[in-house]
Amino acid sequence: MATVTRHAALQTRAALLIIDVQVGLVELMPPEIQRNVLPRIGTLLAKARASGTPVIYIQHDGKKGHPLEAGTKGWKIHPSLQPADKELVIRKRASDSFFGTTLQQELEQRGVSHLIIAGAMTEYCVDTTCRRATSLGYNVTLVGDAHLTRDTEALTAAKIIAHHNFVLDDFSAGDHAIRVKPTDQIVF
Q: Is residue 157 part of a domain?
A: yes
- Residue 142, in any domain of the structure: yes
H or E stretch including 23? helix 23-26
Q: At what angle do helices 157-168 and 127-135 cross, to 10 degrees?
A: 10
> What CATH code is carried by the domain that includes residue 42?
3.40.50.850
Whether residue 1 has pLDDT greater than 50:
no
* Total count of residues recorded for the chain: 188
Residue at 176 is within a domain: yes
pLDDT higher at 9 or 132: 132
Is 5 a member of any domain? no
Flag whether 156 is in a domain. Answer: yes
Q: Is residue 138 part of a domain?
A: yes
The secondary structure of the chain in percent helix, strand, coil, rounded to multiples of 5, reads 40, 25, 35
For residues 80 and 45, the answer to whether their CB atoms sit within 8 Å is: no
Q: Into how many domains does the chain fold?
A: 1
Residue 4, pLDDT score = 39
CA distance 58 to 91: 6
Tell me the pLDDT tens digit for each residue of 45-88: 999 999 999 999 999 999 999 999 999 999 999 999 999 999 99
Q: Residue 122 belongs to what domain range?
A: 10-185
- Quote the percentage of the chain above a pLDDT of 70: 94
* Number of CB atoms found within 10 A of residue 125's CB: 23
